[in-house]
Chains A and B, each alone.
Chain A
Amino acid sequence: MKAESNEKALLQGLARSDKKAIEIIYRENYNMVRSLVINNSGSTDDAKDIFQEAMIVLYEKVRSGTFELNCLIKTYVYSVSRRLWLKRLQQMNRYVPAIENLQDGVQVEEDVEENERINSEFLAMEKAIGSLGEPCKSLLEAYYLEKKSMHEIAQFFGYTNAENAKNQKYKCLVRLKKIFFAQYKNGNGNG
Chain B
Amino acid sequence: MDDIKILDTVERYIRGEMSPDERLYFEQRRKTDPEIDQLVVEHTLFLQQMNRFGEWKKFKQTLQETHIDLAQQGKIHSDKLRGGAKVVYLWNKYKRVTAIAASIAGITAIGLTILMNLFTPQIKDPKVTELVHRVNAAEKNLKVLDNKINYVDKKNQQPVMSTPVRYNGTGFLIDPKGLMITNAHVVKNSRNIFVQNNKGDQFKAFVVKLDVARDVAIIKIDDDSFKSFASLPYSFKKATSDIAEPIFTLGYPRDEVVYGEGYLSAKTGYNGDTLSCQIFIAANPGNSGGPIFNHNGEVIGILSAKETEAEGAVFAVQSKYIYQVLDELKKSSLYENVKLSSKSSLLGLDKVQQVKKIQDFVFMVKGD
Chain A interface residues toward B at CB < 8 A: 17, 19, 22-23, 26-27, 30-31, 34, 38-41, 43-45, 48, 52, 55-56, 59-60, 63, 118, 121-122, 125-126, 144-147, 166-167, 170-171, 173-174, 177, 180
Contacts and interface: CB of A to CB of B under 8 A. Distances in A.
Interface stretch (B29-37, B67-75, B176-184, B208-216): B67-75
26 contacts: A17-B55, A17-B59, A19-B62, A22-B66, A23-B66, A23-B69, A26-B63, A26-B66, A27-B70, A27-B76, A30-B76, A30-B77, A31-B76, A39-B92, A40-B92, A44-B81, A48-B67, A52-B64, A55-B59, A122-B56, A125-B49, A145-B50, A145-B54, A145-B58, A173-B7, A177-B46
Interface in B49-103: 49-60, 62-64, 66-67, 69-70, 75-77, 79, 81, 89, 92-93, 96
B4 interface: yes
Given A26-B67, A41-B96, A52 B53 contact: no
Contacts of B57: 122, 126, 145
A170 B8 contact: yes
Summarize B's interface: helix, strand, loop or mixed. Answer: helix
Contacts of A43: 89
A72 B301 CA distance: 88
A26 B50 contact: no
B332 to A, nearest CB: 64
A121 B56 CA distance: 11
Contacts of B92: 38-41
B3 interface: yes
B53 A55 contact: no
A187 B7 CA distance: 26
Given A170-B4, A174-B7, A125 B70 contact: no
Interface of B: 3-4, 7-8, 46-47, 49-60, 62-64, 66-67, 69-70, 75-77, 79, 81, 89, 92-93, 96
Given A41-B93, A56-B56, A173-B7, A22 B62 contact: yes
A107 to B, nearest CB: 24
A30 B60 contact: no
Summarize A's interface: helix, strand, loop or mixed. Answer: helix
A46 B75 CA distance: 19
Contacts of A27: 70, 75-76
B101 to A, nearest CB: 15
A155 B55 CA distance: 25
Given A26-B70, A41-B93, A170 B7 contact: yes
A60 B75 CA distance: 25
A20 B52 CA distance: 21
A22 B51 contact: no
A174 B51 contact: no
A146 to B, nearest CB: 8
B60 A52 contact: yes
A28 to B, nearest CB: 10
A17 B67 contact: no
A150 to B, nearest CB: 11
A66 B56 CA distance: 18
Contacts of A60: 56
Nearest to B46: A177
B3 A174 contact: yes
A43 B60 CA distance: 20
A97 to B, nearest CB: 8
A147 B57 CA distance: 13
A51 B282 CA distance: 81
A144 B14 CA distance: 13
Contacts of A26: 63, 66-67, 70, 76
A122 B57 CA distance: 9
Contacts of A167: 4
Q: Top 5 nearest A-B pairs by Cβ distance?
A: A145-B54, A170-B4, A30-B76, A125-B53, A44-B79
A19 B59 contact: no
A52 B67 contact: yes
Contacts of A126: 53, 57
Given A59-B59, A180-B46, 15 more contacts: A22-B63, A26-B76, A38-B93, A41-B92, A44-B79, A52-B63, A52-B67, A55-B59, A56-B56, A144-B54, A145-B53, A147-B54, A166-B8, A170-B7, A174-B4
Nearest to A18: B62
Contacts of A147: 54
Contacts of A56: 56, 59-60, 63
Given A26-B66, A59-B59, A174-B7, A45 B79 contact: yes
